[in-house]
Amino acid sequence: MSSLRKSYFLILIPALLSCQKLIELEEQEFTEQLVLYCLMSVDEKPAWAISHTSIELTHTLDILDSSRTYKGVNGAQIALYENDSFIEYAEESTILGSYSFRSNIKANATYKIMVNAIGYPPVSTEHTTPKILNNVEIRTISPKPVGSLTEPYQYRLTYEIDDPPGANYYVADFNIVYTTKNGETRFPVKFWEVSSSLDPLEEKDTTRVFSDENFDGLHHARTIEFNYANEDNFKSDHIDFVLTLMHVSESYYLYHRTLELQSNSNEYRFTEPVQVYSNINGGIGLFASYSKSYAKWRVK
């Protein structure tokens, strides 16, 4: 009986081998593209004040490139336009792929960047900078913070903003600031939204990105929770809770939201892949801007 089974097995081997089929994959031609990253800060500076906007310029890598080394691109001509009027060419630093603009960036203006580098297709990008709001205010903190507290305690903070009509986007950041005669020291504080539909970000991330979709043009209150303990051994003259609210461009918002979704997708096996937002024509990367407002609550 066993010899019969062996015969069947030997007969099936040629049949299985005959079912093999070689599939030729069409080789995709890879063309390097420029990768541009530029984040502008909108400040109300006097005309004589010197501004600084950094630009990082690298290039894409072939997926089959095992080195995974992203090198900076030097010798590029990077032009900046404001409302279709040429302003300046970027200065190149000694760091490979690092450039900068010196112009004072205005609020609610349209800026365009055009890049030409030898060996790469030209790229361009533009967006409109957000307005400067300066309208964030901390209303309540409960329970009342104690400056000498050494054990961590959970607090709830409510802040308010006057949201202008139209689409607006924000990033909240929270810090503890210890001030002495020698200066101040900032410590980022992890916090989380209360009564919010936002997905939690990475545990180490202290920012929250949100839009005004549900409160467009309204006076709006938001609440966060955080843990606090005095960490400077009572050496500080003052202790402040400082809430920073960034009014960001739509491109900034979309970029960070897709980064968040991409990060969260790694936790689930069957989640659809997320493409990180890019607004660079002819290449990839990000061109975005922001303005900042501050609110302070003195603890000590």
Residues of the chain with CATH 2.60.40: 34-128, 137-271+290-298
Tokens 């607004």 correspond to 279
Query: Which CATH number applies to 34-128: 2.60.40, 3.90.1720, 2.50.20, 3.30.420?
Result: 2.60.40
Computed over every residue of the chain, the mean pLDDT equals 84
User: pLDDT over 90 for what percent of the chain?
Assistant: 55
Name which residue leads in pLDDT, 16 or 167.
167
For residue 50, is pLDDT > 80? no
Query: What residues form DSSP beta bridges with 193?
Result: 224
pLDDT in tens, 74-109: 999 999 999 999 999 999 999 999 999 999 999 999
Quote the pLDDT of residue 115. 98
Nearest CA among 133, 135, 175, 112 for reference residue 42: 133
CA–CA separation, 106 and 45 (whole Å): 9
The reported pLDDT for the residue numbered 80 is 97
Counting residues of the chain whose pLDDT is more than 70, the rounded percentage is 79
What is the CATH architecture of 137-271+290-298?
Answer: Sandwich (2.60)
Give me the pLDDT at residue 46, please.
Answer: 64
pLDDT of 65 reads 66
Q: Using one digit for the tens of pLDDT, what is the confidence trace for 153-200?
A: 999 999 999 999 999 999 999 999 999 888 898 999 989 888 654 444
| 245, 247, 248, 254: CA torsion to nearest 10 | 70
Higher pLDDT, 166 or 27: 166
Q: What is the pTM of this model?
A: 0.80
Condensed to tens digits (0 to 9), the pLDDT of residues 216-266 reads: 999 999 999 999 988 776 688 999 999 999 999 999 999 988 887 777 666
Q: Is 267 helix (H, G, I), strand (E, B) or coil?
A: coil
Q: Of 1-15, 32-46, 197-211, which has the strongest mean pLDDT?
A: 32-46
Q: Max alpha carbon distance in the chain (Å)?
A: 99
Q: Tell me how far apart the terminal alpha carbons of the chain are, to the nearest angstrom.
A: 92
Q: Provide the pLDDT for residue 159.
A: 94
Q: Does the structure show a pLDDT above 70 at 207?
A: no
Q: Determine the Cα–Cα distance for residues 129 and 110; give it in Å rounded to an integer.
A: 6
Residue 136, pLDDT > 50, answer yes
With a CB cutoff of 8 Å and minimum separation 6, the contacts of 199 are 260, 261, 264
Answer yes or no: are the C-beta atoms of 98 and 72 closer than 8 Å.
yes
